[in-house]
Amino acid sequence: MRRWYFKPLKSMWSSRNTGLTMAPGPRPEGDFTRHNVTLEYGITSHLMVDGRATVDNPDNGEASFDSARFEMRQRFAEEGDWPIDIALSAEANTRRLENGHYQYGLEPRLVLSKDFANLNFTLNVAEQLPVNRGAPSVELASGAQNREDFVRFVIEVEF
């Protein structure tokens, strides 16, 4: 069991990028950089907590807090014991809206995953429950990643 896991991540978007985006809604205008920092801790071999904070535009002198989340996840069996691995998750989150206000929410989630050799497929079924503004919504997200120790590739699609 891995107890601590720390992951800094930098994501960038360029309006000059002509690639396909899978994210719903309009594409962002202009260029931006976003830094994510994630800290994960395994309490037991089946129970973990993790937190993430995101800062927008840190490179242009106009850095601002973008979003954050705190999640607790419970897995019900060892990976591979059942035909499909099942976990439940509860998340508290906040994100900055386009108008500058913050939306706070709670998100219960069902996580289904299956490993094929070094390749993992995951489906997340979640309901976003806004606390202070907005309407509830059901969110589906799927992903695949290789589980090599040296290099990992991750593909995520949200619906």
**Beta carbons within 8 Å of 90's beta carbon, 6+ residues apart:** 71, 72, 106, 107, 108, 109
| 87 vs 133, higher pLDDT | 87
How confident is the model at residue 159, as a pLDDT?
Answer: 55
* pLDDT tens string 59-101: 666 777 889 999 999 999 998 899 999 999 999 999 888 888 8
| 13 vs 74, higher pLDDT | 74
| 95 vs 4, higher pLDDT | 95
pTM exceeds cut of 0.85: no
- Cross-sheet strand order for the sheet of 85-96: 4-13, 32-42, 47-56, 64-75, 85-96, 102-116, 119-130, 137-146, 154-158
- 98-123: average pLDDT: 90
Q: Give the domains, in start order, of the chain with CATH numbers.
A: 4-15+28-158 (2.40.160)
Task: Give the integer Cα–Cα distance in Å for 121 and 144.
Answer: 4
Average model confidence (pLDDT) across the chain: 78
